[in-house]
């Protein structure tokens, strides 16, 4: 089962992702390396600015609040991918950035999502 923040991200991004024809690179996004992902996320909040907010801690934990529910998940960097885990799933994403806008594209089956780092 996907964690609540990722699930909200997936649901919000699904319609927009199907409408997108251009690749993230063509839209001005740049793909981040593992080191750049760590720099972008550690100590910061990733959010859609409405439904969820995930704080990425340096120890590999995520403090998540989604639709009023607080949970803790874990994250790690694996071969230039951001991997997010809970007790039932592990999903890895390629991370693309344009200023503070972030696009997560799953490595394998899944739905991409968009959010902002602050």
- Please, what are the domains in the chain? 4-17+32-117 (2.40.128)
pLDDT over 80 (residue 92)? yes
* pLDDT value at residue 15: 41
Q: What is the pLDDT of residues 8-51, one digit of tens each?
A: 444 444 444 444 557 887 888 999 999 999 999 999 999 999 99
Read off the tokens for 56. Answer: 């990425």
The per-residue DSSP string of 47-113 comes to: E-SSSEEEEE-TTSEEEEEETTEEEEEEEEE-SS-EEEE-SS-EEEEEEEEETTEEEEEESSSS--E
* pLDDT value at residue 16: 45
* pLDDT value at residue 37: 98
Instruction: Find where tokens 């550690």 sit.
Output: 42
* pLDDT value at residue 6: 53
pLDDT over 60 (residue 3)? no
Which SS3 state, helix, strand or coil, does residue 114 take?
A: strand
**Whether the model pTM is above 0.85:** no
* pLDDT value at residue 4: 52
Q: What is the pLDDT of residues 62-91, one digit of tens each?
A: 999 999 999 999 999 999 999 999 888 889
């Amino acid at each position: 089962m996907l964690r609540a923040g990722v699930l909200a991200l997936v649901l919000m991004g699904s319609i927009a992702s199907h409408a997108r024809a251009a690749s993230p690179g063509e839209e001005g996004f740049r793909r981040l390396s593992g080191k750049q992902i760590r720099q972008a996320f550690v100590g910061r909040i990733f959010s859609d600015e409405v439904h969820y907010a995930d704080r990425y801690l340096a120890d590999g934990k995520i403090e998540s609040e989604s639709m009023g529910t607080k949970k803790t998940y874990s994250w790690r960097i694996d071969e230039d991918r951001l991997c997010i885990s809970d007790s039932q799933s592990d999903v890895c994403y390629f991370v693309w950035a344009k200023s503070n806008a972030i696009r997560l594209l799953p490595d394998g089956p899944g739905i991409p999502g968009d959010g902002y780092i602050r």
